[in-house]
Amino acid sequence: MAKIEEYLDELEEILDKGRGNAFSGKVSIDADAFKTVIEDMRLDIPQEIKEAKMIASERREIINRANNEANGILDDAREKGRDLLSAAEKRSADMNDQADRTSRDTEEQAKETARQILDEARAQADDMIARETVVKDAQAKADELKAEGEKFLEDAKATAESTTAEATAKAASIVKDAEDKAAEVTEEANRKAERTIQDAEYLAQSRMEEATKWAKELKYNVGTYVNDLVNEAEYRVSKSLNEVHALQANIRKANIGGKQNQQK
């Protein structure tokens, strides 16, 4: 913009240096110098157009960069979701394995305890049978110990089944929480990507509108300024011409007056 103003100053200086013709009412100026300034202006004004094109290219670059950033955010969200699901599935499998091991250990322990009780009962029964006086008591004691062993085994199986069911429920809950968390991460990433693209488009559009407005104002101001200079030059020439005409009239009057004095 500053360079354009320099060109306008040069045009004004050329017009000011022009010589007026009192008889034709026109101004004689240095046409070569005037054309040189005009050519320089024609060479520089396309530079402003280039800058506008650069702004448009920058707009496209901003939008592309925003799209790439949005895609990166979505990829990260998907990767985090997959990691969460994998971790939840692994934890669920570990809990199921632990529950199975616990169930098997409990069942084996119950069987071992039952065998020990039965062995003890048989030993006591054998000892009581050896004593004829306590055969009935031995048989009753054996039946009681056997019932206790069977009850203990049933309780152990129930405990193992309850542990397995609880572990399965916890694993399902963990997987559900991981899926919900992955969905939230993906949704947040989509919102951030949309905001990034919208902000980039708004910034690029604003810069494009400013460049277009500035180019129009520059074109209008240059045309208006040149017209004003031409009008000013024509006014000055007309004024000078009027002054010359008045001077010529005064000279004629003075000549006429001098001749009349000489005749007298």
Domain total for the chain?
Answer: 1
Length of the chain: 264
- From residue 122, give the alpha-carbon distance in Å to each of 116, 128, 146, 186: 10, 10, 10, 67
This prediction's pTM:
0.35
Domain that holds residue 208: 2-263
Q: Which of 158, 165, 171 is nearest to 95 (CA)?
A: 171
pLDDT by 10s per residue, the chain, length 264: 557 788 888 888 888 887 665 555 577 788 899 899 888 888 876 665 667 677 878 888 888 988 898 799 989 978 987 898 889 788 878 888 886 888 788 888 878 887 888 888 788 877 776 776 655 776 787 688 788 878 877 886 888 688 778 868 886 888 688 688 868 877 886 788 588 768 857 875 777 687 577 657 766 765 676 677 767 767 876 777 788 778 778 887 777 776 666 666
**Does residue 27 contact residue 233 with C-beta atoms inside 8 Å?**
yes
What CATH number does the domain containing 233 carry? 1.10.287
Q: Shortest CA distance to 215 belongs to which of 84, 38, 64, 49?
A: 49
Report pLDDT for 259.
65
**Separation of alpha carbons 68 and 77, rounded Å:** 14
Tally of CB atoms within 10 A around 54 = 11
Interval 124-179: pLDDT, tens: 877 776 776 655 776 787 688 788 878 877 886 888 688 778 868 886 888 688 68
233 by Cβ neighbours in 10 Å (0-12 / 13-18 / 19+) ranks as buried
Classify burial at 176, counting beta carbons within 10 Å of its beta carbon; exposed 0-12, middle 13-18, buried 19 or more. exposed
pLDDT for res 35: 92
pLDDT computed for residue 213 by the predictor: 79
Q: What is the pLDDT of residue 136?
A: 72
As a whole number of angstroms, the distance between CA 244 and CA 84 comes to 97
